[in-house]
Structure 1
Amino acid sequence: MQFLTFMLSEEVYGVEVSKVREVLEVIDITKVPRMPPFMRGVINLRGGVVPVVDLAMKFGMDAIVNTVNTCIIVLEVEVNGDLVVVGALADSVREVIELDLSQIEPAPRIGTTLNTEFIEGIGKRDDEFIIILTIDRIFSVSEITAVKTGVQEEEEEEEVSEEDEKISQTEEDG
């Protein structure tokens, strides 16, 4: 299997080459208000709007700081049968490598609080570990919906809460 390897916070990650559409230098990212913190904004890719996420933030790490090596990996992510194009910020792209299934061990199960379902496994090449991602499992349906529509789920919940308060107030008054 072939994987594009890239760096996030000094760790090497890999994603199946078949999921990668292209790799871009960082271009202007337009911020979108009220999006999840890991959502950096959107870019114009040949006339199409592509959301850009900070994978490091999504994984609970510090935000990526733009350098000359920072890039956007344009990925095709499948969620509930829907194909969504997403740009993922990475500290740098390394190379395309081939790994045999025998070189990939299952993702470690570390307690019940750590979500590792988006980690396909840990690849080993020479003396280096490569965290192999299942890119289709990184984002939840609600996150992809928020990214596609530009509406964060919390916003909808706030509106419902305000409506509940109005109903409660009306019941108390009535």
Structure 2
Amino acid sequence: MVNQRDFFRGNNQEISSDLQGLQTPEGDLYLRFFLPCQDEFVLRAAGIREVMQQPPDRITAIPNASPLLLGTINLRGQVIWVADLGQFLGDSTLLNTDRPEIPVIAIEDQETILGLAIDRLGEMEWLDLENLQISTTIPDQIAPFVQGEWISTDESGTALRLLDHVAILRSARWAA
């Protein structure tokens, strides 16, 4: 039988010093990713249902569908649309679909699911909303979908833009 002391073998001093080195993350968890133009964006992890690598031949093209949509995939028995997020946001650089796998982020709100095809995935990161800034330099075509941005403190000054997954799902652009 295993008791609680079996989990804490060794010097209690060592255990407490190890725990002091751990930091409690501040903010919320976000997924960083890149579009074909190499702009970097984030989505709140809470709005993401799943992240997958999808072979292009498993995305079924649908005739007469919006040019923003690559097709559909089967996600555990549920058919969902997959959109080219870069094209949706007005990126002129086309997504390279001539590769073994395409990263797809499945976003969800109130049982509505949409797959967003992107160029490449970044890392998961804890970001603090208190540092989120509203920018006046966000292009008009993406402004309805951007909640704000974090500006890098180094000399590059690059922006990490936070996308609103609900605004993307509910957009009138899908009807076009």
Note whether the superposition's TM-score is higher than 0.5.
yes
Q: TM-score scaled to structure 1, two decimals?
A: 0.71
Check if 1:120 corresponds to 2:150: no
1:34 match = 64
Per-residue CA deviation, residues 25-83 of structure 1 (Å, 9 max, x unaligned), is 1231001111111111000111110110000011111321134573011110x3xxx43
Check if 1:56 corresponds to 2:86: yes
Q: Which runs of 5+ in 2 are unaligned?
A: 1-27
Name the larger-Rg structure. Answer: 2
Equivalent residue pairs, number: 141
1:7-156 equivalent positions in 2, closer than 5 A: 7-8=34-35, 9-27=37-55, 28-61=58-91, 62-66=93-97, 67=99, 70-76=102-108, 78=109, 82-108=110-136, 114=141, 116-127=143-154, 128-140=158-170, 142=172
The amino acid of 2:75's aligned partner reads L
C-alpha RMSD of the superposition: 2.3
Q: Which runs of 5+ in 1 are unaligned?
A: 145-152, 155-174
Contact 1:26 1:72 (8 Å CA) reproduced: yes
- Separation in 1, partners of 2:131, 2:52: 29
Contact 1:31 1:42 (8 Å CA) reproduced: yes
- Separation in 1, partners of 2:29, 2:49: 14
Kindly tell me: are residues 68 and 130 of structure 1, through their superposed partners in 2, closer, same or farther at Cα, counting changes over 3 Å? farther
1:124 Cα offset (Å): 3.0
Q: TM-score scaled to structure 2, two decimals?
A: 0.70
